[in-house]
Amino acid sequence: MTDTKVYAARTKDREVIEKSSSGGVFTAISNHFLDHNDAILCASYNFETNREEFGIILTREERDRARGSVYIQSYAGDTWKKSVSWLKDNPGHKLLFVGVGCQAAGYARFMEMQGLRDRVTVTDLICHGAPSPKIWREYAEHLSGGERFSAISFRDKRTGWEHSSAIAVLNGREISLNKYRRIYSKRYTLRKSCSVCPYTRVDRYTDITIGDFWHLEKSMPDFVDPMGTSLILLHTDKGAELFESIRDDLDYRESNTADCWQMNLERPTEHAPDRDKFWKDYRERGAAYVIDKYSRVPVLKRIKGRIKRSMKAILSK
């Protein structure tokens, strides 16, 4: 395959869309592998360690726990090596890898070196940047008082996809994580290397790229869904064949690289201009202090945001 194929897509399963960060394409793709007793290597939130950790997934229950974007750099540990053993122990089977661009490119190369690349489908997520796991862990411990969260969502869609919020549940009570998410969007906690990320482009080292299809209303106003739509980029024949196998589970339209444009398909996220000051404050005062201080939104900006959202709601009626 020479040109990247582009689609706007959503799973037909409404319950899945509500629980997914975008249009639930990860679930549609992973169903295909689970239906054939194949494996998935991807990250899920570990409530004991407050980390997002890679693991080999073989059941729908485990897969469901991997849903949702978690704004923490994920931890791979020795799972890549374990996936090699799994493939060698299960010769007739395949594996789906899902991770952000740097992880996916590394995994694809690793599998080439192992002579196993033809048995894995490598999927990467469009990525704004990977935030420090240390800051998250410290903040999570501060919010939970050392107890364990029972649920977490960095994109709770009860208020819609575009106006989602971030929450954790502790002892049956919801705690807002919106300040944490704002710090992430404001680019304070991203790894230094994210600002020179070579994977923020349309062509990739993977078979498929998935992300959010932002600004869909400009190119396909009649295909917009308030619960979100995924963007799918197919880079290889293997990716195109997989799309063929799952297309009946999706509502989809073909698009192009111009209409699906977003910044991280063209260039890396720049650091916040006062990033060094943020980290100096963090080292002196800790995570709770910096997240509170740097997440504040100036009053004028808050008012402008509210007016913009109201106007958008009125115009979309």
Ligand X SMILES: Cc1cc2nc3c(=O)[nH]c(=O)nc-3n(C[C@H](O)[C@H](O)[C@H](O)COP(=O)(O)OP(=O)(O)OC[C@H]3O[C@@H](n4cnc5c(N)ncnc54)[C@H](O)[C@@H]3O)c2cc1C
Going 316 to 126 to 232 to 77, the CA torsion angle's sign is negative
Q: Of 76-84, 112-120, 123-131, 307-315, which segment contacts ligand X by CB under 6 A? A: 123-131
Output phi, psi for 269, to 5 deg: -75, 130
Nearest approach in angstroms of CB 57 to ligand X is 9
From the CB of residue 162, how many other CB atoms can be counted at a distance below 10 Å? 15
Q: Is residue 70 a contact point for ligand X (CB under 6 A)?
A: yes
Nearest approach in angstroms of CB 52 to ligand X is 4
Among 8, 72, 87, 233, which residue sits at the site for ligand X (rule: CB under 6 A)?
72
Alpha-carbon span 275 to 247, nearest angstrom: 43
Nearest approach in angstroms of CB 54 to ligand X is 8
Q: Is residue 200 a contact point for ligand X (CB under 6 A)?
A: no
Compute, in degrees rounded to 10, the torsion defined by CA atoms 163, 27, 83, 137: 20
Q: Is residue 183 a contact point for ligand X (CB under 6 A)?
A: no
Nearer to ligand X, 231 or 290 (CB): 231
Among 22, 121, 132, 189, which residue sits at the site for ligand X (rule: CB under 6 A)?
22
Q: Report the candidate in 146, 127, 142, 149 with the shortest Cα–Cα distance to residue 198.
A: 127
Q: Is residue 242 a contact point for ligand X (CB under 6 A)?
A: no
Among 6, 7, 26, 187, which residue sits at the site for ligand X (rule: CB under 6 A)?
26
Q: Please name the residues in contact with 316: beta carbons below 8 A apart, sequence gap of 6 or more.
A: none
Q: Which residue is nearest to ligand X (CB)?
A: 211
Nearer to ligand X, 128 or 171 (CB): 128
Q: Is residue 128 a contact point for ligand X (CB under 6 A)?
A: yes
Considering only residues 46 to 65 of the shown chain, the ones binding ligand X according to CB under 6 A are 52
Nearest approach in angstroms of CB 290 to ligand X is 19
Among 6, 87, 95, 126, which residue sits at the site for ligand X (rule: CB under 6 A)?
126
Alpha-carbon span 125 to 187, nearest angstrom: 18
Q: Of 81-89, 210-218, 242-250, 307-315, which segment contacts ligand X by CB under 6 A? A: 210-218
Q: Please name the residues in contact with 59: beta carbons below 8 A apart, sequence gap of 6 or more.
A: 34
Nearer to ligand X, 72 or 242 (CB): 72
Q: Is residue 43 a contact point for ligand X (CB under 6 A)?
A: yes
Q: Is residue 252 a contact point for ligand X (CB under 6 A)?
A: no
Q: Report the candidate in 212, 243, 245 with the shortest Cα–Cα distance to residue 228.
A: 212
Alpha-carbon span 147 to 258, nearest angstrom: 47
Alpha helices in the chain (DSSP H): 14-19, 25-35, 60-65, 79-89, 101-113, 133-144, 178-185, 216-219, 237-246, 275-285, 287-294, 299-315
Contact 276, 188 (CB under 8 A): no
What residues line the site for ligand X (CB under 6 A)?
Answer: 20-27, 42-43, 52, 66-72, 74, 98-100, 125-128, 130, 210-212, 230, 262, 264
